Structure 1
Amino acid sequence: MNSSLLTFLPFVVLIGAMFLMTRSAKKKQQAAASMRDQLGPGSGVRTIGGMYATVKEIGDDTVTLEVAPGVHAVYAKNAIGAVLEDDEYNRIVHGTADDLNIDTPVVPDDASSLLKDEPADADQAEAPKLDLGKKDEKAAEDTDGKTDGEAGAK
């Protein structure tokens, strides 16, 4: 009797664990469904991919999001990861005055402002000499007096 109880004990534990896991999964599904029920045109959302957008239209299984001004994309409702409060959405997407750091360096549009020690006059500046792999003619001559391209050159 005691050995049969020990034989069935692991099965009882597994069945209990499976029951708890399915219960937890059902709760998550219900929470996601109630979150999607909060969707409405104008709601700020975050997709499961991490993109922030504004809801424009809601279909049966899809939702149209405005991902940038005038840019609309159709997503599955399952792709909505969170419906955000207006304050939170505006803080994340648009930022607030406190979030903006004015001391950050500004990246210039062109590289000319990054150059230092520019000569005052462009005519006085020497152009850098580039080595294009050409040899001097004197160095290219053989002891025979022939250049590399001539017949009989070594």
Structure 2
Amino acid sequence: MSIVTLLPFIVLIGAMFLMTRSAKKKQQQAAEMRNQMQPGTGVRTIGGMYATVKEVGDDTVLLEVAPGVHALYAKNAVGAVLDDDEYNRIVHGDGDLKTDTTVVPDDASSLTEADAAAADADAAAVEDAKIDLGKKDTADEAGDAAKADDKRDGDTDAK
């Protein structure tokens, strides 16, 4: 066998080695992160819930998900251990947030007369554009079928 024939196999084995090595490295980093959890630390679970660590066991962690509400999770369910600043910024809204503070009401009290007229026109257009689902045709066909059955049975009352 020549080196040219073996080259694809060598490249494949090398790629597999690199992928498994990086996966092991990520697993070790995640295990170290979970082992560094202490009571009072803010965490995010793999489901996206933010909570505060209350107790840390061997395989489990007790999280406070709301004031006075505690839940027991597996350590593997912790997706990230957060810095205090990041946790407070996300959970409590503390810190320098660059967001739009414009408030848009959910009710229609802020609509102008032109907006209300446009909304009424849109509602009227939707009312006019109702789709016929053919239920009337189905009912007529069912009635015709019943009449045909009556005629076949010899029922003289069928009209």
TM beyond 0.5: yes
* Equivalent position of 1:20 in the other structure: 18
Deviations 1:75-114 (A, max 9, x none): 1111111111111101110013754866424558xx9x79
Contact 2:89 2:95 in 1 (8 A): no
Q: Report the count of equivalent residues.
A: 112
* One-letter code aligned to 1:57: E
Contact 2:59 2:75 in 1 (8 A): yes
* One-letter code aligned to 2:65: V
Instruction: Give the superposition deviation at 1:22.
Output: 1.2
Instruction: Give the superposition deviation at 1:71.
Output: 0.8
* Equivalent position of 1:69 in the other structure: 67
Contact 2:44 2:80 in 1 (8 A): yes
Q: Which moved more, 1:42-51 or 1:99-108?
A: 99-108
- Identical counterparts, % of pairs: 73
Whole-Å separation in 2 of the counterparts to 1:13 and 1:77: 37
* One-letter code aligned to 1:34: E
- 1:41 and 2:10 matched: no
> Normalising to structure 2: TM-score of the pair?
0.60
Higher helix share: 2
Match of 2:3 among 2, 5, 27: 5
RMSD: 2.6
* Equivalent position of 2:80 in the other structure: 82
Unaligned runs of 5+ in 1: 115-154
Runs of 4+ in 1 over 3 A off after TM superposition: 97-103, 105-108
Whole-Å separation in 1 of the counterparts to 2:38 and 2:58: 13
Unaligned runs of 5+ in 2: 111-159
